[in-house]
Amino acid sequence: MRSLLCAAGAAGILLFAAAGPVAADDGGDGFTITDPRIKESSGLAASRKHPGVYWTHNDSDDGPYVYAVDSRTGRTVATVTLRGIGDPRDVEAISVGPDGNVYVGDIGDNLGGTWSHVWIYRFPEPAQLRDQTVTAAQLTVKYDEGPRDAEAMMVHPKTGRVYIASKKKSGGAALYEGPERLSSRGTNTFRRIAAIDQWVTDGAFSPDGTRLVLRGYFGAEMYRWQGGRPKGIGSVGVPLQMQGESVSFTPDGRTLMFGSEGKSSRVQPVGLSGDQLPESAAKNSDGKVGDKGGTDDRNQDGPGKNRNVLLAAVTFGVGAVVVLGLRRVFRRK
């Protein structure tokens, strides 16, 4: 019976992979990171100065490096070496702020949330894409509830405020808000503002700041950002990936780009619709919020969740058919 269930499960996985999330028109087909040095791409952020370029970095054991990848070719077009910081421990996230700075989150804790503090590195986004060394500020971070393991750090694109989401659902994952302005002197205390009911590996704000997405290994949740707090509006379909670690909005806000660790890892686009579209992307030609993308709270599940439910139902159905079919074959024998 176990072999029958395995066959059914395999059929379900193939069906899910085939059905997969649909890319938005402006998201293209995604891209593959071709740089052999990038083996553990753990964060992803769309450049503000260079259209079509995404910033990324390795997880750990790589050094103070950040890479600019051209989404049209998958090639690294610039390697930035950070000067003026210590040895990075567990770099997990990257975000570009409205102040023109790139923020790198050395916020992971491979010791299970025991480090007394973590760091954020901040440096101006380069005007030219070439290999270069830049001086970065090293910002010390602590949490008001004590040490946390985290992999998601997001800079709000309007206020410039920095947020961190802790990772473990079983350990009470939460969203933490940093001070209004981070300081390179002393310690920046991040305070809990909301519980998060998922295992978080990365997150991103939409370019207009009206949406927040938090992803895990196998799923993602979209939130409406209201009054400096998240309000859940449903799940988002996530591509099947070996180890889903990163997510970023495209500059127009209509597409999510999902990345994974591993050599030659693939960054895959997922188009948004309905309430999950950021407000600026949902506006029609008259400058009004359209019927599908407005601030109507009635569609709390969102299109991603409905699509996942449908896929799960179809997968279960196919699995059942496979099991019944194999049973009949074995009975005949």
pLDDT digits (tens, 9 = 90+) for 123-134: 999 999 999 999
Structure tokens at 50: 């260079």
Residues in the chain with pLDDT values less than 50: 1-27, 284-286, 288-333
Distance between terminal CA atoms of the chain?
16
pLDDT for 170: 58
Residues 189/181, Cβ–Cβ less than 8 Å: no
pLDDT for 171: 53
User: What CA–CA distance (Å, rounded) separates 61 from 240?
Assistant: 26
User: What is the reported pTM?
Assistant: 0.79
Place of tokens 């997001």: 154
pLDDT for 240: 82
pLDDT for 328: 38
pLDDT for 319: 39
pLDDT for 61: 77
DSSP state of 112: T
Burial code (b: 16+ CB inside 10 Å, e: under 16) for 80-95 equals: bebeebeebbbbbbbb
| Dihedral sign from CA coordinates of 295, 296, 298, 303 | negative
